[in-house]
Amino acid sequence: MPATIYIEAACFIVAVICLIRDANWVWRSMALFLLITCLTEITGKLLRSGHHSNQWLYNVYLLFEAGFTSLMFNKVLSKYINSKILIIGGAGVFLASYVYDLIGHGFLVFNDITATVMSVVFVIYSFLYFYLLIRDDQYVDLIKSPAFWWVTGALFFYFGSTAVNLFFAFLRDVQVAGHNITYFIFSALSAILYACWSYSFICRRWQTTSKN
Amino acid sequence: MANNIKELILIATLIFLLAPLFIILYVVIYNRRKMRHIEEKEQMKHAFDAEIIKTQLEVQEQTMQNIGADLHDNIGQLLSLSSLTLNSIQLEDLEKARQKIDAAIDLTGRSIKEMRLLGKLLQGDQLLGVGLSEAICHEINWVEKSGKFQVNYVNEGDLPANNNLDKDLIIFRILQEVINNIIKHSMATQINIKLAYADGNMQLNVEDNGVGFNLDNLQTARPEGGGMGLLNMQKRAKIVGGDVFIKTQQGEGTSTTVIIPYP
């Protein structure tokens, strides 16, 4: 099993421990999303080891990823602005590119354009969050801010993913220690993402328990 | 050539991967600055509140001093005189006794009048709640009572409907101190006070025809008797965004102007 599956599983466990009793259903839904992520990764790995294509599986997973991540962005941005229109707009762009991909190459080939579009949309959301955060008069203790760490993880992952997706044609030829360099980059990005999210869930737990 | 492009792509990828780190560092640094700014604002607010409380205490102290002087110089004298008059009554001579009783009644009446004025003086600092101009009028009444000064007071321009109690307090305290200085040092006979409001500024001008002083010598000196001093007056005015200007020359009187953005 690749290391990323263990990292995802660890993040899922942290999410279950920290968020299962969270008062907010959006935060609670992160545990479900991470469960879906782990199951997708394991199933994908099993399909691949059985020499079956797993690209259709990741096409399905894209829908969950876009849905749950958009929900969370809506949650963190709504503190500063009425973000519903923005998130619905982003979802519209995502669906349009998803349909475009499906029409272009069918369901059995991975929707790479959709993945790139989704990454760009999430990077824009992350930038917007940081802009609103620094513009806000209120001081936020970033070390203990669950929203900040969640967005930080997302920004690292989706910004890096965008870069790799853009340069993929060149990067796929670069081999390091018997693996494609993108394998190491995605492993590092996943580690950063799930480390930030795990810490974000812990902060969320501290925040909610200290309020009670 | 192909290798160069590959290297370039790798460097570009690395930059892309590191870019979020710089963005987050910027956010963290900015956030720390925001915290420092909030702390500084908080400290400034505390300093402002402390200065306002100090000013309030000084106004009260000044009022008590005025009352003490009034009790000793006016009411005390009137009541002593009443007592002496009543003690000297001889009931055998009814006509003279009647005159002395009338005199005692007159003295008692004057004492009551003085007591009423004293009562108003006692509310001096509270009068600021009614309005700065009203409080200044009461202060002037007290100064005029000594009979040593002729005081002219002019109120120019309509004062804003929403008054600022903190700024009123500071202007009033500076006026008290300027008047104190005139009484103690100026040997003046005429005091002109003008309160004006124009272009979002409250301006108080106090002029006297006294001996004046050398401004350079007094710029840094602490006044005797624990008064505010020139620097202190300026400090007080500056905490509400204003300033104090003094024009004087030996033998040519003094003009003190306080300008404070208002309300």
- Measured from the Cβ of residue B76, the count of other Cβ atoms closer than 10 Å reads 13
> Considering chain A, what is the average pLDDT of its residues?
91
Q: Which residue of B has its CA nearest to A142?
A: B28
- Measured from the Cβ of residue B27, the count of other Cβ atoms closer than 10 Å reads 19
Question: How confident is the model over B220-234, as pLDDT tens digits?
Answer: 555 554 445 777 888
Q: Is B31 an interface residue toward A (CB < 8 Å)?
A: yes
Outline where DSSP puts E strands in B124-213. 150-156, 190-198, 201-208
Residue bearing the bigger pLDDT, B73 or A22: A22
Residue B157's SS3 state is coil
Question: How confident is the model over B230-251, as pLDDT tens digits?
Answer: 778 888 888 888 899 989 888 8
Q: Is B187 an interface residue toward A (CB < 8 Å)?
A: no
Least confident of A24-28, A168-172, B109-113: A168-172
Q: Which residues of A touch B (CB under 8 A)?
A: 127, 130, 133-134, 139-140, 142, 152, 155-156, 159-160, 162-164, 167, 170-171, 173-174, 181, 185, 188-189
Contact B27, A130 (CB under 8 A): yes
CA angle B58–B59–B64, rounded 5-degree value: 95
Contact A142 B17 (CB under 8 A): no
Q: Is B9 an interface residue toward A (CB < 8 Å)?
A: yes
- pLDDT of amino acid A209: 80
Q: What percent of chain B has pLDDT over 70?
A: 90
Q: What is the pLDDT averaged over residues A52-65? A: 92
Question: How confident is the model over B157-195, as pLDDT tens digits?
Answer: 777 777 788 888 889 888 988 988 888 888 888 999 999
Residue B123 contacts by C-beta under 8 Å, 6 or more apart in sequence? none
pLDDT at residue A188 above 70?
A: yes
Contact A134 B34 (CB under 8 A): yes
Contact B151, B193 (CB under 8 A): yes
Q: Cα separations (Å) of A112 from A52, B85, B203, B246? A: 19, 113, 71, 77
pLDDT at residue A36 above 50?
A: yes
**Helix A181-211 × helix A25-49 angle, to 10°:** 150
Q: Which of A130, A173, A188 sits opposite B23 (nearest CB)?
A: A130
Residue bearing the bigger pLDDT, A145 or B68: A145
Task: Give chain B's largest Cα–Cα span.
Answer: 137
- pLDDT of amino acid B70: 76
Q: What is the pLDDT averaged over residues A190-194? A: 94
pLDDT band at B1 (very low <50, low <70, confident <90, very high): low
Question: How confident is the model over A85-124, as pLDDT tens digits?
Answer: 999 999 999 999 999 999 998 888 988 899 999 999 999 9
Q: What is the pLDDT averaged over residues A3-16? A: 92
pLDDT at residue B153 above 50?
A: yes
Contact B165, B129 (CB under 8 A): yes
| Cα A129 to Cα A212: distance, rounded to the nearest angstrom | 27
pLDDT band at A157 (very low <50, low <70, confident <90, very high): very high
Contact A185 B13 (CB under 8 A): yes
| Cα B165 to Cα B22: distance, rounded to the nearest angstrom | 48
ipTM of the prediction greater than 0.90, yes or no: no
Q: What percent of chain B has pLDDT over 90?
A: 16
Q: Cα separations (Å) of A63 from A7, A59, A79? A: 22, 7, 25
Q: Is B16 an interface residue toward A (CB < 8 Å)?
A: yes
pLDDT at residue B259 above 80?
A: yes
- pLDDT of amino acid B225: 46
Query: Of B56, B47, B16, nearest to B235 (Cα)?
Result: B47
- pLDDT of amino acid B227: 47
Q: A108 CA to chain B: closest CA distance, Å? A: 29
Q: A148 CA to chain B: closest CA distance, Å? A: 10
For the entire predicted model, the pTM comes to: 0.70
Q: B3 CA to chain A: closest CA distance, Å? A: 11
- pLDDT of amino acid B55: 84
| Cα A72 to Cα B263: distance, rounded to the nearest angstrom | 46
Q: Which of A130, A171, A185 sits opposite B27 (nearest CB)?
A: A130
Q: What percent of chain A has pLDDT over 70?
A: 98
- pLDDT of amino acid B155: 87
Q: What is the pLDDT averaged over residues A165-188? A: 82
Contact A185 B9 (CB under 8 A): no
Which residues in chain B are closer than 8 Å to A163, comparing Cβ atoms?
12-13, 16-17
Q: What is the pLDDT averaged over residues B12-31? A: 89
pLDDT band at B60 (very low <50, low <70, confident <90, very high): confident
Contact B17 A185 (CB under 8 A): yes
Residue A139 contacts by C-beta under 8 Å, 6 or more apart in sequence? B31, B34, B35, B38
- pLDDT of amino acid B136: 87
